[in-house]
Amino acid sequence: MSEYVLEMRGVCKYFPGVKALDHAQLKLRPGKVHALMGENGAGKSTLMKCMFGIYKMDEGDIYIDGQKTVISDPLEAWDKGISMVHQELQPIPARTIGENIFLGRYPMKKALGFIPVVDHDKMYEETEKLLKRVRMDFDPRQKLGTLTVSQMQSVEIAKAVAGNCRVLILDEPTSSLTQNEVEALFRIVEDLKKEGVAVVYISHKMDEILRISDEVTIMRDGQYIGTWDAKELTTEFIITKMVGRELVNLYPKRENVPGDVVFEVEDFTSINPRSFRHCSFNVRKGEILGVAGLVGAQRTELMEGLFGTRSHTSGKIRYQGKELKINRPKDAIDQGIAMLTEDRRGSGIMGVLSVADNISVASLNKYVDYGFMLNTKKIDQLVEENRQKMNIKTPSGKTLIQSLSGGNQQKVLIGRWLANDPDVLILDEPTRGIDVGAKYEIYCIIADLAKQGKSIIMISSEMGELIGMSDRIMVMCDGRITGFIDGKEANQENIMALATQFE
């Protein structure tokens, strides 16, 4: 028997104009957590999709227990003991937990002796066992939509280990979880390790990787760089291997000089009594205002209210002393306000459209000739300018945006709003799910925009990011603004003190 439960050797995968994998490799031991790291676009997810049968390898081999095998589709991967929990969960909220777990493979029985029907009793009995395996004490008949995101993720893990799971792939499993929920996930992973399951853990969070992993494999530009014992690694070593160079500072030197107050919000209150209320703040010209708060602080909801996607009952918005009337996003856009959404896939990119379409969609009125004809040459020029200015890695403007890495998708979305030349940019979690190299590039873009005199409002759940990038930090708790901290005086302690200041 091989010491590895699964091996991938010499894997190559080609897409039009791109070599996504270049003789990549991976070796998984039973009962170990194997972290797979690399910048966005390094080939991590592509390699996992080849393992799981979503993509067909152009070259390379897969071995299970030392025996060469072929995996042609996810069902075959499942049969061979390989399961995958994707970063973007796809639950069916209106159906029960049991129905979600057994979707596509319901246990059947014969009614009236010959009519095949779903054996609900058996399904819910098996579901109860699986839920206990992932430390969830829920009624299998409960509707999935009543659960939190972390609980839904536990259901996905229960579904993944329902069969003879020997390899479990977790792709960015903590990107939407609170710290307590992360701890719960880690306990589940530890239980699976004891059962001999090999866990592939994909994440950009260094502290998680160094804590949960036994081994770490790093990829760069589709190639295998190396595998190391996690105990031997440091954050600095991992970053250097990931990006191929040393990042002396995680945050760029900022040369912006905040000027006069240009954007003001007064007594802004949501129509929902449990959301934001009586919020007042201002932003200066060329200032980066960070927005901190715990999950449920209503930071996103407040910014969506300012942008016109949520209703409010009272409050005023002023730009350079002039009151703005914003009832819908178009009103905000017309008055020089842009908002980069938190949910890049759900409400940011239009996956079935090209990079060019995604960049130009918010400013198409600038590229219309004779009142009805799009000037494609000007749009192509806009795309090329953004590609060069923000180092967007894409074969061409015609490439579908869904085929780009998360970091490059985020740059495209920033380019979309910059095409309108806004005065105020609201950036909601601008680096979520993005590797350290792409983060630095986006930080540089933000710093440059502030230097140009743009007013930046940046929501972030990463303390280091807020402290490293903000001129001031506004802290929220339970729908209220609880205080402001000068960027030079900010630290985790004084931010958390305000973030937990409940009434």
Q: How far apart are CA 354 and CA 403, in angstroms?
A: 10
Q: How far apart are CA 229 and CA 231, in angstroms?
A: 6
Q: How far apart are CA 122 and CA 101, in angstroms?
A: 13
Q: What percent of the chain has pLDDT over 70?
A: 97
Q: How far apart are CA 257 and CA 501, in angstroms?
A: 31
Residue 9's pLDDT is what? 96
- Mean pLDDT score across all residues of the chain: 88
Residue 246's pLDDT is what? 62
pLDDT (mean) for 466-486: 95
Q: How far apart are CA 54 and CA 13, in angstroms?
A: 12
The pair of three-digit structure tokens given for residue 263, joined into one six-digit string: 């954007």
CA dihedral 189, 194, 196, 199 (to 10 degrees): 20
Residue 57's pLDDT is what? 94
* Burial class, 20, CB count within 10 angstroms (exposed 0-12 / middle 13-18 / buried 19+): buried
The pair of three-digit structure tokens given for residue 172, joined into one six-digit string: 């960015």
Owner of token pair 């760069």: 220
Q: How many CB atoms lie within 10 A of CB 439?
A: 23
pLDDT above 80: residue 18: no
pLDDT (mean) for 28-45: 89
Q: How far apart are CA 9 and CA 60, in angstroms?
A: 6
Q: How far apart are CA 386 and CA 139, in angstroms?
A: 51
DSSP for 431-487, written as a single string? TTT--HHHHHHHHHHHHHHHHTT-EEEEE-S-HHHHHHH-SEEEEEETTEEEEEEET
Q: Is 45 helix (H, G, I), strand (E, B) or coil?
A: helix
pLDDT above 80: residue 84: yes
CA 418 to chain centre: 22
Domain 261-336+422-499 annotated CATH 3.40.47.10: no
Q: How far apart are CA 249 and CA 109, in angstroms?
A: 62
Instruction: Render the burial of 47-61: b for 16+ CB within 10 Å, e for the rest.
Output: bbbbbbbbbebeebe
pLDDT above 90: residue 157: no
Q: How far apart are CA 379 and CA 97, in angstroms?
A: 47
Residue 184's pLDDT is what? 80
**Residues whose CB falls within 8 Å of the CB of residue 100, separated by 6 or more in sequence, listed in order:** 91, 92, 144, 155, 159
Q: Is-contact 284 455, C-beta < 8 A? A: yes
Q: What percent of the chain has pLDDT over 90?
A: 49
The pair of three-digit structure tokens given for residue 16, joined into one six-digit string: 């039009």
Owner of token pair 């792709």: 171
pLDDT (mean) for 219-230: 93
305-309, 367-371, 413-417, 492-496: which has the minimum mean pLDDT?
A: 367-371
pLDDT per residue as tens digits for the range 171-202: 888 766 667 778 888 888 998 999 999 999 99
Does this chain's domain 6-243 share its CATH topology with 261-336+422-499?
A: yes
Q: Could you tell me the pLDDT band of residue 475, with boundaries at 50, 70 and 90?
A: very high
Element holding 159 (H helix, E strand): helix 149-160
Q: How far apart are CA 297 and CA 462, in angstroms?
A: 14
pLDDT above 80: residue 126: yes
The pair of three-digit structure tokens given for residue 53, joined into one six-digit string: 């049968």
* Burial class, 317, CB count within 10 angstroms (exposed 0-12 / middle 13-18 / buried 19+): buried
**Residues whose CB falls within 8 Å of the CB of residue 310, separated by 6 or more in sequence, listed in order:** 270, 271, 272, 275, 301, 304
pLDDT per residue as tens digits for the range 303-347: 999 999 999 999 999 999 999 999 999 999 999 999 998 877 777
Q: Could you tell me the pLDDT band of residue 147, with boundaries at 50, 70 and 90?
A: confident
Residue 17's pLDDT is what? 66
pTM above 0.85, yes or no: no
| Residue extents of the structural domains in the chain | 6-243, 261-336+422-499
| SS3 per residue for 205-243 | CHHHHHHHCCEEEEEECCEEEEEEEHHHCCHHHHHHHHH
Tell me which DSSP letter residue 400 carries: B
pLDDT above 80: residue 93: yes
Q: How far apart are CA 261 and CA 266, in angstroms?
A: 13
Residue 176's pLDDT is what? 65
Q: Which amino acid is at 87?
A: Q
* Pair type for strands 167-171 and 82-85: parallel
Q: Is-contact 160 84, C-beta < 8 A? A: yes
Residue 248's pLDDT is what? 60
136-145, 369-378, 455-464: which has the minimum mean pLDDT?
A: 369-378
Q: Is 324 helix (H, G, I), strand (E, B) or coil?
A: strand
Strand partners, 132: none
Architecture of domain 6-243: 3-Layer(aba) Sandwich (3.40)
Whole-angstrom CA distances from 329 to 307, 322, 337, 343 are 5, 18, 9, 16
pLDDT above 80: residue 167: yes
Tell me which DSSP letter residue 311 carries: -
The top-scoring range by mean pLDDT among 36-40, 95-99, 455-459 is 455-459
Q: Is-contact 303 428, C-beta < 8 A? A: yes
